[in-house]
Structure 1
């Protein structure tokens, strides 16, 4: 029996997303081989961990401007991707937890409740860092507001039914909890690797040990490791500059 589920909201979500994707451009990436030529992708990971002090300073600055770390960091990631691949805009698959109230006992169910939304960054806009982050933040709120619509339908619509075609092959998954009490942590990650079909780069952001941790799980048939390391280095430098060097209200994102 459904509990507090608004089907009218689902229709509103469908209308919002269909209108949004009508303006989206499918990006083109320079890779070793065409993405669709990869039959059985093999993944490797590149990662970087910031110091606790750097993480705290970043969060303090983000909080000062009324933003969330998820949106601000995502904006810097999208800027990095646009700069790397010479793109004017980039749309990412954004994963979000989506346990809808479809049954009164839904909270007792263990399962996969992830949905997909889309967020876009426009490099051509001559705006400040703060404005760029606010643009992404606004899209994130829409992700939550219209989470009822199945994101896989968006990708099918954009791909016009093409089977196996990677539409937006970069995924952003954020697991930021804001915890900095390492003594409370009862486990430590030993090994992790995500392997998502039709994805060339799966980016995870987390801070469960008090330090911001970035990881790229990438398809080795598409990218050389040294290329992924260069992208990570640029990304890290963009974040460090955002912490100490740049004036978010005055400096332009370009």
Structure 2
């Protein structure tokens, strides 16, 4: 009848009817009712309703007694008043937990159990004053979700391996995974730094995590205040105490900040961290964020956590079984003809080293040299990481009498499960086996291309955890350090841009060393200020140290030779 205006008029009529019902319906017991006032289970299922929906129009539900429903709704709203005080209530729960006071609700009554003397008059008064709200909070989904966030969860595979490596039953075991660094920081403001450190601790769950002997970990529900130690000891004395520290399990913190020669031009910040908490990428991120925050730059809390990543990664693998199968096929094929680790001239069998002690050998390469290396590598479709891994592999082969060998390469390529995944601190490490096969007439470019191809393949097939590959390789020799030479590169952006140079002017790393169970050489490269440091952390008891120094010197010469070469159709030689 209304032709093209028909739909418009229908909408207009529906609006008038709706307004009439809202305005006049209450006089005829037609209006709004409290969800739960009637048996709405079927309606809830059909309409996907939840306890957050308080009103349901009686055009669906039927007639109501409006006055009684209004009173019931008011009572319901008052019962949810506690939601305005969740932070205060959780702080009260935390205070009770710290004093081992147990709280629970039984028959809608607040109950508690406390050790003798733990429940102070002040805390008891707080419990009494908050009793009504506490009863509602302790029974709420909000509290259950909060508690679940701080439940223990399993270690990652690499964390579990490091935990077992503390045991002396493994070759090159009896070692806690650990990183130690000394930063010379003239006139460091210790009070300011302490505030910054506590701010960064609050941003990252990993820094509030406790590792337990049973292979689990948990984030502390509240953040303890961390106080930086100001020491009167010499830097050398602190180094002797802290550089190879093994943190006790089940206790917080598993890191340590200490300052020597405070309030002077010779101030040194000593940093020690258990690598059960952080991988090398995250340890670098920790240093970066502390320095940035100290300089007044914004450091944000990531919208993601280690615990969420572990759960999401597991789910991703379940949903992408084809990638796991492809990875298993790749590594099974590769293991058929994989060379062993480097057969280095150890002066003592690794199995006889009961207390591995690590020593660092290091040399610096300018940021301009690394930038030139990166640009030249790009022309050949190579990464700087692959180029340096090739030099390192070739050097170890030379040291091993020209034999083929396999490196244990650290991978930091986290799955892109969240936009903030690379800003999360934790231990996400995976490992890959990269082999080197010497050929008499092969030039450097040919060898580097072969290494790069293996790295790409390792990244593509990372669904299979590298530790499982190592176990398969070592099934007949349990406990043996089967691939004890590790290659780690933090050339993450493959460039020497300013973002990587986060050290302020005047601050310099003057000493550092790391240690890892079942490792005899750990090669690392990372940036510090306007230079890159190439480090070898080695178990000194295994080597002729004079011979080792010559090998490191040759490595430095080869690195500069590749940087300066016009092209890479060359052969590296120990005599060149």
**Same fold per TM (> 0.5)?**
yes
Match of 1:173 in 2: 488
1:170 Cα deviation after fit: 0.4
Give the count of matched residue pairs.
252
TM-score relative to the length of structure 2 = 0.41
Match of 2:322 in 1: 8
CA distance, structure 1, for counterparts of residue 378 and residue 501 of structure 2: 24
Q: Deviations over 1:204-228 (max 9, x none)?
A: 0123534232100000110133222
CA distance, structure 2, for counterparts of residue 252 and residue 246 of structure 1: 13
**Is 1:213 equivalent to 2:533 in the alignment?**
yes
Match of 1:41 in 2: 356
Match of 1:226 in 2: 546
1:61 Cα deviation after fit: 1.9
1:89-238, aligned counterparts within 5 Å? Answer: 89-100=404-415, 107=421, 110-124=425-439, 126-176=441-491, 177=493, 178-181=495-498, 184-186=502-504, 188-238=508-558
1:112 Cα deviation after fit: 0.9
| RMSD (CA atoms) | 2.5
SS at match of 2:541: coil
CA distance, structure 2, for counterparts of residue 10 and residue 125 of structure 1: 37
Distance 1:173 1:104, change over 3 A: closer
CA distance, structure 2, for counterparts of residue 119 and residue 48 of structure 1: 24
SS at match of 1:94: strand
Instruction: Pick which of 157-166 and 84-93 moved more.
Output: 157-166
TM-score relative to the length of structure 1 = 0.88
SS at match of 1:233: helix
CA distance, structure 2, for counterparts of residue 60 and residue 212 of structure 1: 16
| Structure 1: gaps of 5 or more residues | none
Check conservation: 2:501, 2:527, Cα contact below 8 A.
Answer: no
Check conservation: 2:359, 2:538, Cα contact below 8 A.
Answer: yes
Distance 1:34 1:183, change over 3 A: closer
Distance 1:146 1:194, change over 3 A: same
SS at match of 2:449: helix
1:14 Cα deviation after fit: 1.2
CA distance, structure 1, for counterparts of residue 438 and residue 338 of structure 2: 14
Q: Which has the larger radius of gyration?
A: 2
| Structure 2: gaps of 5 or more residues | 1-310
Match of 2:381 in 1: 66
SS at match of 1:194: strand
CA distance, structure 2, for counterparts of residue 154 and residue 183 of structure 1: 36
**Is 1:240 equivalent to 2:554 in the alignment?**
no
